[in-house]
Amino acid sequence: MKKLITSIMLIMAVSTVIAQEDIYSFKVKNDKGTEVSLEQYKGKVLLIVNTATRCGFTPQYKDLEAIYEKYNEQGFEILDFPCNQFGGQAPGTIAEIKEFCSTTYNVKFTQFDKIEVNGENEHPLYTYLKANAENKNNIRWNFTKFLISADGKILKRFESGDKMEDVEAAIAQALTPAK
């Protein structure tokens, strides 16, 4: 009976997360461990990325920072969520991760506290992202990216190995006003 009640509660929680219309009602922990609302990003085009510092894709930080610097003043933000779920490739504290990223890749975009993107302890934001993207599969590896429109809708999911030129082109298109 206890398992049944727990299962029902989990289904209700996931249903609530999936039913949300955009990402702005989610709260996440910043790099200081303080809960903040994503509502502060309303009106901006976002790239939400799960990252790691000891991964074959870690050099993407360089490309991400270049894209951030190029488009930030046009209303673009990168939200970086370190994740240690894939081969333990994001070890250390968030302070250590930030230090590595700033000294190695000169990262200036927003980095949040470490989260889980799959499984029992996955963050509700990632439950929502996966459920509402065209590709609804679990996150397969570090540096999976979700492009979010200025009105909070998921435009595209990019896998780790997708070309950064394609990611940048989609960002530029999302920032171009409709005619």
- The long-range contacts involving 61-70, CB below 8 angstroms and separated by at least 24 positions, are 61/101, 61/104, 61/105, 61/107, 62/105, 63/164, 63/167, 63/168, 64/107, 64/109, 64/164, 65/105, 65/106, 65/107, 65/108, 65/109, 67/164, 67/167, 67/168, 67/171, 68/108, 68/109, 69/108, 70/168
Asked if 146 and 153 touch (Cβ cutoff 8 Å), the reply is: no
With residue 155 as reference, give the H or E element that holds it: strand 154-158
Active-site residue flag, 55: yes
- Please identify which residue in the block is written with the tokens 């679990």: 138
**CA–centroid distance for 76 within its chain:** 14
* List 28, 46, 48, 55, catalytic entry: 55
Which residues are tagged catalytic? 55
